[in-house]
Amino acid sequence: MNILQITSSVRGNDSESTRVTNLVVDKLVAANPGATVVRHDFGAQPHPALDGATVGALFTPPEQRTPEQAARVALNDALILEAQAADVIVIGAPMYNFGMPVQLKNWFDAIARAGVTFRYTENGPEGLLKNKKVYVATSRGGVYPVEADPQVPTLRMLLNFLGLTDHVFIYSSGMSMGPEAAAKGQEAANAAVEAAVA
């Protein structure tokens, strides 16, 4: 089993979403001896943002790219290859201002490439990162009902667009609502991990 772990919190060792992704990965490795794990902590080492120079490099034919353009595209290529090789992807997605961290959005921007991880067909877009299991650990300061969650619908849309349709969301809610609420949120997340990674 090849496991890709993506964390995006800027809180380091204090990150709840990273704690939960570590828990998921540990359980997967314990259940699958010999599993390999590729880890990226984009909170600590962010991937470059999508900018005009990057778009220019991506739309320049490979044989015409400058050394700088080739090097920039190679950074994205490496992330795409990791996503393609993974059997399981574990994503840490804390909620920042009702959305995902820019560090995580940069990863999605890097791996979403037409003709490689998705394609357009007569019936609409088709995701090409298929047959993978995805676990998303999302931590948030408050508590949001499913029908009013401001973050998860965007994450689901991005995952589905890329063909990553087999996903499980694990919630750590109430992290900023006091020690009792935070402990309750962590307990719920732990129980969800136990149920999801059985």
Q: Which helix (H) or strand (E) holds 84?
A: helix 67-85
- CA-based torsion, 108, 110, 165, 87: positive or negative: negative
Detail the residues annotated as belonging to a binding site for FMN.
Answer: 9, 15-17, 95-98, 139-142
What is the per-residue DSSP string for 137-185?
A: EEE-SS---GGG-SSHHHHHHHHHHTT--EEEEEEE--TTS-HHHHHHH
164: amino acid identity, one letter: L
Detail the residues annotated as belonging to a binding site.
Answer: 9, 15-17, 95-98, 139-142
Taking the C-alpha atoms of residue 126 and residue 192, their distance in angstroms, rounded to an integer, is 30
Taking the C-alpha atoms of residue 8 and residue 164, their distance in angstroms, rounded to an integer, is 19
